[in-house]
Amino acid sequence: MSRVKRGTTALKRRRNVLKQTKGYRFGRSTKERMAKVAILHAGSNAFAHRRKKKNDFRRLWTVRINAAVRLSGLSYGRFIGMLKKNNIALDRKVLSQIAQKHPGTFERIVKQQVS
């Protein structure tokens, strides 16, 4: 029988793990066991933060709308309440974009709600 040399699969796996942790600090980029743990934690954080990002953007839109509405002497809550009462179905993302890029248009929307 011919001799079988082993270790190619393990070496390939090790290289792949260390390639994924390139740029990590300390032993996490050089030691296989620490690198595996770092990849596991990074993956779980990435998963959670992809969902958290949606919440972060919604908060940003709220802050932008509030800042734009305050110039007209209203509060954010009152403005949103007026929009709902008048059945205007603009979401917060669109409202914040209008407030940021077209302040005149946003001011007209606010004045329409007040009157």
| Domain-embedded: residue 3 | no
pLDDT at 115 over 80: no
CATH code, domain carrying 40: 1.10.1900.20
| Domain-embedded: residue 12 | yes
Mean local confidence (pLDDT), 84-112 = 93
| Domain-embedded: residue 1 | no
Nearest of 85, 80, 53, 81 to residue 65 by alpha carbon: 80
Q: 């933060």: which residue's tokens?
A: 49
CA 26, CA 105: separation in Å to the nearest integer?
A: 53
| Domain-embedded: residue 42 | yes
| Domain-embedded: residue 19 | yes
Helix pair 103-114, 92-101: axis angle to 10 deg: 120
Read off the pLDDT of residues 35-88 as tens digits, 9 standing for 90 and up: 999 999 999 999 999 999 999 999 999 999 999 999 999 999 999 999 999 998
Answering whether pTM is above 0.85, one says no
Mean local confidence (pLDDT), 22-26 = 96
Q: 59 lies in which domain range? A: 8-114
Can you give the pLDDT at residue 79? 95
| Domain-embedded: residue 53 | yes
Q: Domain tally for the chain?
A: 1
